[in-house]
Amino acid sequence: MTDRAIRALVVLNIFLRLSVSGCAVGCPGSAAGRLPEGGRTVGAGAPGGTRTAGRGDRGGRARDAGGVRYALLADLHGASKALRRILAAAAEAGVDEVVCLGDYLEAKVPRRLHDPSRHWPLPAVVDPDPPLWSSLATLRLVEGNQEQRVRELLRPGQVPGELAAILDRPERAQLHGVLGMHGHQIRWTLVGDDEMFLPSAADVPRVPVVVVGHTHQVAAFEITWAGPSVRPLACEPGVPLRLGESEPGGGPPSRTLLINTGLARRRPHHWLLYDTERGEITFRVIARPPA
């Protein structure tokens, strides 16, 4: 992918941010079921969440002409090369908007030394990288715990304009019936021989579909609210998770689909393609080059 194509995607992101308006999600419920082939149908709907960024949301999963294609990623941790590779892959996939669900920066101060009362020089807190910061400013950003830590450790007078533009972003984003957040708001328990992190259902917003990062794992879970119970779902690159048709009635959903994006920082780079017209989310991977 050429630099011209990447620049075109950045310009397109700026255009969408200026031209598309939206509202909070409010899609009606849907029953879970299976398709004859080509994916899994999951999810049910209800409004939910506060402090959200609602650009482009139209009150439910879009089925309008053309729809919108989102690239969803998380946990860049300051890796500019990873961002360039994902932007190139997103451009090839015809993505309309790129959304980073937190931890796009890396706080360098160890947690054991995290002390906002001390004076921390900027380079001790975060690597100065104005080109990366400028690229991130063209995307739709959700705040993660790394951005919170950077913000807490730096005083306002220390923060360059390019960095200030990408700090203090909302904790949630509404994306045509899908709720995006970083995932540090959820308690996770490490279980099993495969060392999978399972979410605490009590911390998951009761909405049809939630997409998060934070754990660095590629995973999907179906939360059944009668109980509640959490069930891991099979997920593979290129195999879509279909999000289910809406049904009349509204009210809280009986099930929630929770998706982990995987780690964007290092290869293989993981991201999600969310196609609102088709009503499906697909895991995408940028693999290591052949040896």
pLDDT digits (tens, 9 = 90+) for 232-261: 999 999 999 999 655 456 788 999 999 999
pTM exceeding 0.75 = yes
Beta-strand (E) ranges in 113-225?
140-141, 172-175, 178-181, 188-191, 196-199, 209-212, 218-224
Kindly report the number of other CB atoms within 10 A of residue 200's CB atom.
13
Across the range 24-48, mean pLDDT stands at 33
Element (DSSP H or E) covering residue 137: helix 130-137
Q: What's the confidence (pLDDT) of residue 290?
A: 67
Over 90: is that where the pLDDT of 78 sits?
yes
Q: What's the confidence (pLDDT) of residue 35?
A: 26
- Of 3.40.220, 1.10.3470, 3.60.21, 3.30.450, the CATH number of 3-106+172-286 is 3.60.21
Cα–Cα distance, 108 to 97 (Å, whole number): 29
pLDDT digits (tens, 9 = 90+) for 162-196: 999 999 899 999 999 999 999 999 999 999 887 89
